[in-house]
Structure 1
């Protein structure tokens, strides 16, 4: 086999095992000229469609991906279960302005909210509340009403670039470490922010009870995107916490129309018809798992994955059908080439990512490492982000030392431009080397920075090497992320082919390397000195929030 040789004086001992060029040639040929990545994505989006966690379509996606991986020759396939909660799906939804004139509006139901059981008609009413004490003023006034959930905001001229590829300058900036940055495993959730989120959590509980008691007909939320885009979200999927009334998200422009009518004392009337249902036959959700077994005795493991679940507004092509299709294509390529890796190559297609990394966290917790949970039952019942501590110390399991690396894709469908190392500078030589055979496809930027919001965090948070690739943003964040136009029409086929080839190359090299990828030190609880600094910063943040709250109350105009 050919090896890309690097002079010994220019590299560390770890970097000496250079990339396999013969295998890179084979991977490139299969990935570019025999690609199935778009065929896989088309089935996920056109045939299966939206894949909300625990929905019937998500279950269908689990079974289809498992069968497809097995048909490609992968072994030890399984659906890995974890506790989640209620399933939900919506067949259709319509919202119509019935008066003072007639017009069809555009809206999508909020996930995990009930349907209307037929057409529901009602007067529109502004409902602008921020605290539990604000609710009292509406008591006895809301029966049969359809509520606008908060004042409208002025639609400003757009300033964002819709479609973008990363510039040389941006990629260069990503190479610089930020000494003041928090550790990759350290949560952004400060104690002060947690206090604020706890207040919101308790307020939403009180709000749900109030809306049910007042027999509200339905509620309407304003989309967080303008230009006709409906960006969706969901309420609680936990049994016993279901939002009690039908809820729908509408375009900013439609929301503004209704608020202007109210301002002019022209009472708008709406007809709502939402067909939605809950699925409670199985309170678990599932990850799809399969692998190419390693040849070493008691083989170590290399993993690749992305989240299979999506939101319900669209087909979930870029978030994250693209990542799933690339991960599947990478292992398909290697299986087709009949590779015999030293380490097992395992693919994991996660569920529950959109609700808080449920699937990947459950998998890591079961097989790699656990963290102590709150001892107080009341705290344990809260969402994980409201726990007072992530749990120390981390407790590794038997498989902890067997994992070499986990590679993730979940930043849209843009091509790979490099990789985030989450501060793991010891991994840089190997990762740089593996980009070598693909230097004509990618700049191969190795960034010491951290990126969050997706499933590699579940691994990195317990000290395991988990990496997300740097990708061209395209129009992922500006108009596709969680909106109703996240369809395959916005996916660029050549970008997915490029990502699949590089992913397959990285998996092969990681599986064949002489040693596992280097690791950072095991995450630990803050030292006494660091905790004192964090407590001081928290107190300052709390005082700032209190002052801002008082200022807002003093300047609020009451009509």
Structure 2
């Protein structure tokens, strides 16, 4: 009898164990579904995106490396995290030339009066007081010797150094309305004009940077450029090369006016008043926030977006929206998943626009994170919803990325095209800094919304270009991918896929830890 009871007890124990083992995956699936639903609910019903966008994009504005605006943005981000109970800090990694933008006014005062649309380029010297002078077009000379002979003519004048565009209408506008023959003729003429201008610059024997300095040394009182971005009313705005005189960028329409008047002998004059402030050498930094892991605190899942921007506008989509996605995802995770299995770390990078310097410095300075990185998710190409996800060249990326993506709502995952194993990114955005050292960094690539022409590094990258429904979708996706990566039982493989013939894995590039001076 005793043996029968023991056998029965044993069978019951085995049955209970079997039922328990069967229930464990089901329970895990239920927990996963519950957390994902909570993420979607929080993002949908309690979004902080518009508030944060207004405070960051409108309230602080552009975030040029070395500017007080960049420091303000870092302080603001740290303050957001602390309000949500998330540890945050700033981490210096180098120095840069400090410079703050002041007012810019550019007015044509002869042969008639018109206020021109334009602004000083980043790091441009100030005029101290308004300067007035005639305009002169960069000469088309035979060679560098002839250019040197022409140089004295720029003394006391503003030099127009950019090609005037034949048309301010983007190609899509021509395609919609023009006769086919007219469109083709315009394109051929434009190609010939561009080649002629390229040769004009080449015959000076100088690079763009050295050309600006040569004009400065010859006594020019300013340089006027125009870098059209192939859209209505939009120009690219980058940095000045001059050290003593102002460099301004004027919108296509007004630049063309100046150029034509100068070319026809009307001797236009402009008054330029650009105020800016040199701040000396200032720290460059990344801004980080962290939710500590409970089971595997020394393994990391990272969120990634650069905080800095160019300053022709307010940096709304490059990369204000990426920054907002990561802030919102962290806020949501802290609320619905406060005790992650792995440590969640966000990098708001500095000086991305000067060559991924912040993320490259982090990779160099934090080998312990790189070696134990489960996954990094980066977003940095505008306001659009994510539509592409690749494996960055990792051999079995499909096994885990597909599983994590499957947890997202159909309305998000069904519009994302995947590419596995994909190719390793050699540059372009901060995930590439991690991929270069064999760490699993992945880019959440967004729908264009005319990003390249209208907002990327332009004078039109402003709050009104944000598409909040898409940004909200990206915050949900990021939070879910981070959650799934944290919950993954094993550390993922970083085995590299075999690349096609002629392709090599990108090499690590050292961070530039000081700069901004010509």
TM tier, smaller: 0.7 to 0.9
Aligned residue among 478, 486, 495 for 1:511:
486
Aligned residue among 412, 430, 439 for 1:441:
412
C-alpha distance in 2 between matches for 1:506 and 1:208: 47
The Cα of 1:422 is off from its aligned counterpart by 1.8
2:239 is the alignment partner of 1:234: yes
Which residue of structure 2 aligns with residue 74 of structure 1? 86
Using a 3 Å threshold, how does the CA distance of structure 1 residues 257 and 314 change in structure 2: closer, same or farther? same
Aligned length: 448
Which residue of structure 2 aligns with residue 264 of structure 1? 264
Which residue of structure 1 aligns with residue 433 of structure 2? 458
C-alpha distance in 2 between matches for 1:213 and 1:19: 69
Q: Residues 287 and 351 of structure 1 are in contact (CA less than 8 Å); yes or no, is this contact kept in structure 2?
A: yes
- Is the partner of 2:412 in helix, strand or coil? coil
Using a 3 Å threshold, how does the CA distance of structure 1 residues 298 and 486 change in structure 2: closer, same or farther? closer
Q: Residues 110 and 248 of structure 1 are in contact (CA less than 8 Å); yes or no, is this contact kept in structure 2?
A: yes
Q: Residues 168 and 252 of structure 2 are in contact (CA less than 8 Å); yes or no, is this contact kept in structure 1?
A: no
The Cα of 1:482 is off from its aligned counterpart by 1.6
Q: Residues 4 and 20 of structure 1 are in contact (CA less than 8 Å); yes or no, is this contact kept in structure 2?
A: no
The Cα of 1:19 is off from its aligned counterpart by 9.1
- Is the partner of 2:127 in helix, strand or coil? coil
Mark the structure with the bigger radius of gyration.
2
Aligned residue among 215, 223, 229 for 1:211:
215
Q: Residues 418 and 445 of structure 1 are in contact (CA less than 8 Å); yes or no, is this contact kept in structure 2?
A: yes
The Cα of 1:159 is off from its aligned counterpart by 2.4
Which residue of structure 2 aligns with residue 185 of structure 1? none
Q: Residues 395 and 497 of structure 2 are in contact (CA less than 8 Å); yes or no, is this contact kept in structure 1?
A: no
2:46 is the alignment partner of 1:34: yes
Q: Residues 287 and 359 of structure 1 are in contact (CA less than 8 Å); yes or no, is this contact kept in structure 2?
A: yes
Q: If the length of structure 1 is used for normalisation, what is the TM-score?
A: 0.74
C-alpha distance in 2 between matches for 1:513 and 1:458: 24
C-alpha distance in 1 between matches for 2:324 and 2:159: 41
The Cα of 1:265 is off from its aligned counterpart by 1.3
2:254 is the alignment partner of 1:250: no
For structure 2, list consecutive stretches of 5 or more residues without a partner in the other structure.
1-21, 175-201, 505-518
Deviates more, 1:296-305 or 1:309-318: 296-305
The Cα of 1:516 is off from its aligned counterpart by 2.4
Using a 3 Å threshold, how does the CA distance of structure 1 residues 150 and 31 change in structure 2: closer, same or farther? closer
C-alpha distance in 1 between matches for 2:498 and 2:285: 28
Aligned residue among 63, 70, 75 for 1:51:
63
Which residue of structure 2 aligns with residue 432 of structure 1? 402
Which residue of structure 2 aligns with residue 127 of structure 1? 138
In the TM superposition, 1:468-507 aligns within 5 A as 468-507=443-482
- Is the partner of 1:141 in helix, strand or coil? helix
Deviations for 1:225-255, whole angstroms, at most 9, x for unmatched residues? 252223201136xxxxx63320011111111
- Is the partner of 1:363 in helix, strand or coil? helix
Which residue of structure 2 aligns with residue 353 of structure 1? 352
Using a 3 Å threshold, how does the CA distance of structure 1 residues 200 and 72 change in structure 2: closer, same or farther? farther
- Is the partner of 1:232 in helix, strand or coil? coil
C-alpha distance in 2 between matches for 1:300 and 1:95: 54
2:393 is the alignment partner of 1:423: yes
Which residue of structure 1 aligns with residue 191 of structure 2? none
Using a 3 Å threshold, how does the CA distance of structure 1 residues 205 and 35 change in structure 2: closer, same or farther? closer
The Cα of 1:137 is off from its aligned counterpart by 2.7
Which residue of structure 2 aligns with residue 224 of structure 1? 228
Q: Residues 121 and 312 of structure 2 are in contact (CA less than 8 Å); yes or no, is this contact kept in structure 1?
A: no
Q: Residues 350 and 359 of structure 1 are in contact (CA less than 8 Å); yes or no, is this contact kept in structure 2?
A: yes
The Cα of 1:410 is off from its aligned counterpart by 0.6
In the TM superposition, 1:34-433 aligns within 5 A as 34-75=46-87, 77-128=88-139, 133=145, 135-155=147-167, 157-160=169-172, 203-225=207-229, 226-235=231-240, 243-282=243-282, 284-296=283-295, 298-368=297-367, 398-433=368-403
Q: Could you say what the CA RMSD is over the residues aligned between the two structures, in angstroms?
A: 3.1
C-alpha distance in 1 between matches for 2:352 and 2:458: 16
More helix by share: 2
Which residue of structure 2 aligns with residue 168 of structure 1? none
The Cα of 1:338 is off from its aligned counterpart by 4.3
For structure 1, list consecutive stretches of 5 or more residues without a partner in the other structure.
6-15, 163-197, 237-241, 369-397, 532-559
C-alpha distance in 2 between matches for 1:302 and 1:259: 53
Deviations for 1:35-73, whole angstroms, at most 9, x for unmatched residues? 112211111011111111110111000111012112211
The Cα of 1:26 is off from its aligned counterpart by 0.8
C-alpha distance in 2 between matches for 1:501 and 1:258: 49
Using a 3 Å threshold, how does the CA distance of structure 1 residues 348 and 132 change in structure 2: closer, same or farther? farther
Using a 3 Å threshold, how does the CA distance of structure 1 residues 509 and 258 change in structure 2: closer, same or farther? same
Which residue of structure 2 aligns with residue 175 of structure 1? none
C-alpha distance in 2 between matches for 1:270 and 1:259: 12
Deviations for 1:435-474, whole angstroms, at most 9, x for unmatched residues? 2232222323212344551111111111111111131111
Q: Residues 98 and 270 of structure 1 are in contact (CA less than 8 Å); yes or no, is this contact kept in structure 2?
A: yes
- Is the partner of 2:99 in helix, strand or coil? strand
The Cα of 1:489 is off from its aligned counterpart by 1.2
